[in-house]
A = this chain, B = another copy of it.
Amino acid sequence: MDASSRIEAGLNMAFTRTHAPPAPPLLAAAMRHAVFPRGARVRPRLCLSVAAACGDDHPEVSDAAACALELLHCASLVHDDLPCFDDAAIRRGKPSVHAAYGAPLAVLAGDALIVLSFQLLAWSTLHVPARLGPLVLTIAQAVGMPNGIAAGQAWESEPKPDLAVYQRAKTGALFSAATIAGAAAAGADPQPWRALGELLGEAYQVADDLLDAVANPDECGKPVGQDAALNRPSAVRAYGINGALDLLESLAASAAASIPDCAGATPLRALIAQEAKRLVPKSLSRAAA
């Protein structure tokens, strides 16, 4: 099975296991709504690519790690779209979870997706229990305190957020977790893979800032212009559009260069080149990109 099929199958399996009776039907539907139809699935694909480069001796574990990352990413979007945060009515081109199901079920869907991600890790490691601890810690660190997604979102409530700390937590942490968890799921030393995740996370955040600044809502699948409207820190506001574009290119190049020497290095570099191209908003694509 290719990576995309593994991810979709893993996510469907996760819901099959947790949405049986006596599951409340509306919460089950809200959770599915948050995760399907698919977004780019960037983080889980990155996780599986690193696991493959490291031998992927227990694919059920790397599948679980990949799906856990995606569930947590979706959970963060659901909560970030809530009326008390961005109040976004549209996500991935359709109504956001709170717009479709109301704020209470959106809060609960995020909560239940967070919990499900840890369940996935535990189910997958029943036969390799030594892998569970490092995976739980890696992934929890990426979404909790002091520098995971929740911490990142919380900087939006602080009077003087530090742009680098904010972006590293809100976006970078889950990318670092994707590469580290990919290696840990395959039983490899994760440390050589940290830089790749960090650099891709930074690149992705810069791309998101660019998209928010220049895209139209149709291209983006969500409202744009939010950073300026909500006075949020952003690479475009800090460096201008050309400065942000330069930064994005340089980060993608550093990411490709950071890949440790291993059997799977070539397909991984190809994936990164493809992502870097995809990340540049269409209206800004440079001839060289």
Q: Which residues of A contact B (CB under 8 A)?
A: 18-28, 31, 75, 79, 82-85, 101-105, 107-108, 110-112, 114-116, 118-119, 121-123, 125-126, 129-130, 132-133, 136-137, 140-141, 143-148, 150-151, 153-158, 161-162, 165, 169
- Interface secondary structure of A, over-half rule: helix
Instruction: Find A154's partner among B21, B27, B133 (CB 8 Å cutoff).
Output: B27
Contacts of A140 in B (CB 8 A): 115-116, 118-119, 122
Known: A107-B79, A154-B108, A157-B27. A130 touches B133 (CB 8 A): no
CA distance A157 to B109 in the complex (A): 12
Most chain B CB inside 10 Å of its own CB: which residue of A103, A144, A154, A155? A154
Residues of chain B within 8 A (CB-CB) of A165 are 22
Q: Given the known A-B contacts A112-B151, A150-B112, are A145 and B18 also in contact in the complex, defined by CB atoms under 8 Å?
A: yes
Known: A26-B158, A27-B151. A126 touches B133 (CB 8 A): yes
Contacting A136 at CB < 8 Å: which of B21, B118, B161? B118
Closest to A164 in B: B22
